[in-house]
């Protein structure tokens, strides 16, 4: 051709240049990545996690209502004693220091029980723990109805504290397993049930004291706690 030999030589050098070949390979690679693998196919979208099943909602999960009811009974039963203190102090001749000991015995027993026995709730003993807990609360109330000395009330109050310390971790462990996707909401409602029991127990006890004596108040509360233990034992079921 009419092209000078020097120009032909320069173009050949450029075509064989490794830099030019690398740029060309990179451009081809980019076009191949943008091109779909098959005609009409769309790029893959990121994986989407399926929404939680409606069965995990607390309102539709069997067993949660029973757990909350048992919490109200356990907390309320341990607090029945407090509005009865003035009457008990007068009728049994209790000192102010002995009343403080009675009050502290329940909370101390609950604290120790939760620390030592809470792991049992993770080993498949939730239902048994809940039934034993409410049974202990019922027995402590019955013993309080028969108390004639300060140490009787201290012992009964300690037993009720053991019951409360057993029930709380049992109910918490059960709720977390029943509604794992709503564990925070479930535990929040359990705390609400506990606070409700702490308020309802003294309120009902003080109202009943207006027309009866402390022994009868304790006896009625013991019957209610025993009924709660039966209900929990029949209706509470652990997840498989």
Q: Give the model's pLDDT for residue 239.
A: 73
Statement: residue 11 has pLDDT above 90: no
189 and 131 Cβ atoms separated by less than 8 Å? no
Residue 30's pLDDT is 52
Q: What pLDDT is stored for residue 127 in this prediction? A: 92
Give tens-digit pLDDT for 179-238: 888 899 999 999 999 999 999 999 999 999 999 999 999 999 999 999 999 999 999 887
- The set of residues, in sequence order, having a beta carbon less than 8 Å from that of 204 and lying 6+ positions away, is 76, 80
Which pTM value belongs to this model?
Answer: 0.74
The predicted structure's pLDDT at residue 122: 87
**Most confident residue range from 23-27, 95-99, 108-112:** 108-112
**Mean pLDDT, to the nearest integer, of 83-93?**
93
Q: How would you write the chain as a 3-class SS string? A: CCCCHHHHHHHHHHHCCHHHHHHHHHHHHHHHHHCCCCCCCCCCCCCCCCCCCHHHCHHHCCCHHHHHHHHHHHHHHHHCCHHHHHHHHHHHCCCHHHHHHHHHHHHHHHHHHHHHHHHHHHCCCHHHHHHHHHHHHHHHHHHHHCCCCHHHHHHHHHHHHHHHHHHHHHHHHHHHHHCHHHHHHHHHHHHHHHHHHHHHHHHHHHHHCCCCCHHHHHHHHHHHHHHHHHHHHHHCCCCC
**Residue 61 has what pLDDT?**
66
pLDDT, averaged across the chain = 82
With vertex at residue 221, the alpha carbon angle to CA 167 and CA 126, rounded to the nearest 5 degrees, is 15
> Does 240 have pLDDT greater than 90?
no
CB count in 10 Å sphere of residue 167: 31
pLDDT tens string 153-196: 999 999 999 999 999 999 999 999 988 888 999 999 999 999 99
The per-residue pLDDT for 125 is 87
pLDDT of residue 179: 87
Q: Identify which has the larger pLDDT, 5 or 72.
A: 72
Mean pLDDT value across residues 10-20: 50
pLDDT per position as a tens digit, 24-61: 555 544 554 455 444 544 444 443 333 334 445 555 56
Distance CA 88, CA 98 (A): 11
């Amino acid at each position: 051709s009419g092209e000078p030999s020097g120009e032909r030589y320069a173009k050949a050098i450029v075509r064989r240049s490794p830099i030019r070949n690398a740029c060309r390979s990179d451009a081809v690679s980019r076009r191949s990545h943008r091109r779909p693998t098959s005609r009409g196919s769309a790029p893959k979208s990121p994986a989407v996690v399926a929404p939680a099943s409606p069965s995990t909602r607390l309102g539709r999960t069997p067993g949660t209502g029973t757990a909350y009811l048992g919490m109200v009974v356990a907390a309320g039963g341990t607090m029945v004693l407090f509005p009865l203190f003035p009457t008990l102090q007068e009728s049994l001749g209790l000192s102010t220091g002995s009343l403080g000991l009675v009050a502290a015995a329940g909370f101390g027993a609950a604290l120790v029980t939760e620390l030592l026995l809470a792991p049992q709730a993770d080993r498949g003993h939730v239902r048994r723990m809940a039934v034993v807990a409410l049974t202990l609360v019922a027995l402590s109330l019955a013993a309080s109805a028969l108390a004639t000395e300060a140490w009787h009330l201290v012992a009964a109050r300690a037993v009720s504290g053991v019951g409360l310390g057993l029930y709380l971790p049992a109910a918490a462990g059960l709720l977390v397993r029943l509604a794992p996707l709503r564990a925070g909401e479930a535990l929040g409602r359990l705390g609400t049930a506990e606070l409700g029991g702490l308020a309802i127990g003294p309120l009902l006890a003080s109202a009943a004291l207006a027309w009866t004596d402390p022994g009868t108040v304790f006896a009625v509360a013991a019957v209610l706690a025993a009924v709660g233990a039966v209900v929990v034992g029949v209706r509470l079921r652990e997840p498989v």
